[in-house]
Amino acid sequence: EVQLVQSGAEVKKPGESLRISCKGSGYSFTNYWINWVRQMPGKGLEWMGRIDPTDSHINYSPSFQGHVTISVEKSITTAYLQWSSLKPSDTAMYYCARQPGNWNPLDNWGQGTLVTVSS
Amino acid sequence: DIQMTQSPSSLSASVGDRVTITCRASQSVSSSLNWYQQKPGKAPQLLIYAASSLQSGVPSRFSGSGSGTEFTLTISSLQPEDFATFYCQQSYDFPWTFGQGTKVEMK
């Protein structure tokens, strides 16, 4: 069974750093890109970026470039999304989703990680 | 960036109704258009990919059509479990972009 299991909910203060994870299992991890998608409270889906686990090549949305870092450790089939200095506006649900390459859909999604940033 | 615009933003319908949601792209995305369903508190799930292909396990009452800049998602006979928010998404060119969502509510 294909699974993307994300790390648990986080509560952080402004200015703190954070890394959340997404572990893939049940499929060949390097055959699928991992995408990250943000959903702010009560809002729609926003694509943040994707990483190719084969070579760690990353495409970021211009809206998120410079604000987050996407990385991967293919040896443990895990992708990461990290912030160096959180803001209250980073409060959102974050989803990872796999994609079998360009022009293809996001065909399996993680359960989501809720990040709350508040002083 | 390619802008995706869905209409309507919300609709009220009854069980058994035929429901159609439209998605328009600001430029051609060929057939690289996907539809997702999201229920409250849950992750999105893929319904339709490549504009008209039904994802495995998705009921056949869901269908998609279109190419280029105009796409539709149709639910032939709305079921109680279909009340949710639906999103279109283009995977033609980076950055991938989503429509703003269409919330299907019970009349």
Task: Tell me what pLDDT residue A102 has.
Answer: 84
B101/A45 Cβ within 8 A = yes
Task: Tell me what pLDDT residue B2 has.
Answer: 98
| Contacts B103 to A, Cβ<8 Å | none
A44/B89 Cβ within 8 A = no
Question: Which DSSP symbol is given to A29?
Answer: G
State the 10-residue block means of pLDDT for chain A, 119 residues long. 98 98 98 98 98 97 97 98 98 98 94 98
- Alpha-carbon dihedral sign for residues A48, B89, B94, B25: negative
What is the per-residue pLDDT across B36-94, written as a single tens digit (0 to 9) for each?
Answer: 999 999 999 999 999 999 999 999 999 999 999 999 999 999 999 999 999 999 999 99
Task: Tell me what pLDDT residue A91 has.
Answer: 98
A107/B55 Cβ within 8 A = yes
Q: Using CA atoms, how far apart are residues B52 and B35, in angstroms rounded to an integer?
A: 9
Task: Tell me what pLDDT residue B51 has.
Answer: 98
User: Does the pLDDT at position B35 exceed 90?
Assistant: yes
Q: Which two tokens stand for residue A74?
A: 């293919």
A 1-40 near B (Cβ less than 8 A): 35, 37
Task: Tell me what pLDDT residue A101 has.
Answer: 87
| Contacts B49 to A, Cβ<8 Å | 104-105, 107
Measured in angstroms, the CA of A45 and the nearest CA of chain B are apart by 6
Closest CA to A31 of A96, A99, A106, A109: A99
Q: Using CA atoms, how far apart are residues A54 and B106, in angstroms rounded to an integer?
A: 45
Q: CB contacts < 8 Å between A and B, how many? A: 66
User: Does the pLDDT at position B27 exceed 90?
Assistant: yes
